[in-house]
Amino acid sequence: MGPNALWLTEFLAASLTLQPGMRVLDHGCGMGMSSVFLAREFGVEAWANDLWIPAEDNAWRFKEAGLGEQSHAVNADARALPYDPDFLTSLSVSTPTTTLVWTTFTWATSASC
């Protein structure tokens, strides 16, 4: 399945200036453990986006972790994200072999990206 998602998230978070209340898109979050980590450790609002894991499952996990108001589960395709371009502060993209982070970014408007 690849490297541990929490280790990758911790490693990447060290290069960011995450502040409480920031809105972070955790894209490709899987079962949302990276979102739980970001919300607990940094006080950010984590928007946990995954195409394959049902949002309801992640929402239940966030509620069980006591983070139902701070971590938000979303089921969406990367080519059609339901966020306004100015809404998010930071973006984290995770796959089993790669994790990328942007602290400023521009939304792509072409489906060919």
Domain locations along the chain = 1-12+32-78
Rounded average pLDDT per 10-residue block, the chain, 113 residues: 74 83 87 92 92 96 96 89 75 49 40 37
Predicted structure pTM score = 0.76
Torsion of CA 3, 14, 74, 29, to 10 degrees: 0
Question: What's phi and psi for 91, nearest 5 deg?
Answer: -130, 135
Q: Residue 33: how many CA atoms within 13 Å on its side-chain side?
A: 8
